[in-house]
Amino acid sequence: MTKTTSTTETAAKQAVKATTKATTKAIVHVRFKDGVLDPEGVAIQKSLAVMGFDRALSVRAGKFYEIEFADNSAESEKQLQELSEKALANPVIEKFEIQWPDKK
């Protein structure tokens, strides 16, 4: 009897191989632009006040992404800039900031 490898097992093996290679991590913070209503932030701030944390005057919520790249080359930076503009943030109401912690 021959053993067949499922697609899931193959994908898992490839993921393990990918994580053992030298990679670099990029961090993308996405938040609403100034002046855009942030209902989640308002709800958090109100909850904090109810809990007794009345020193917090306002809260802005956002999203945080960690993305691994094979390197932090100019091509990777360009691709991250593009994917942040097109997929991670809505440029009409959101702004984003990119960080490369491993980059010296």
What's the total number of domains in the chain? 1
In a domain, 1, yes or no: no
The CA distance from 52 to 46, in Å, is 10
State the sign of the Cα–Cα–Cα–Cα dihedral 68, 71, 75, 29: positive
Domain of residue 49, residue span: 24-99
The CA distance from 77 to 82, in Å, is 9
Q: Tokens for 97, please give them.
A: 């900031």
In a domain, 68, yes or no: yes
pLDDT single digits (tens) 26-44: 999 999 999 999 999 999 9
Q: How would you write the pLDDT of the chain (104 residues) with one tens digit per residue?
A: 555 556 666 665 565 555 556 789 999 999 999 999 999 999 999 999 999 999 999 999 999 999 999 998 999 999 999 999 999 999 999 999 999 998 76
In a domain, 66, yes or no: yes
- C-alpha of 28 from chain center: 5
Whichever domain contains 57, its CATH number is 3.30.1280.10
In a domain, 3, yes or no: no
In a domain, 17, yes or no: no
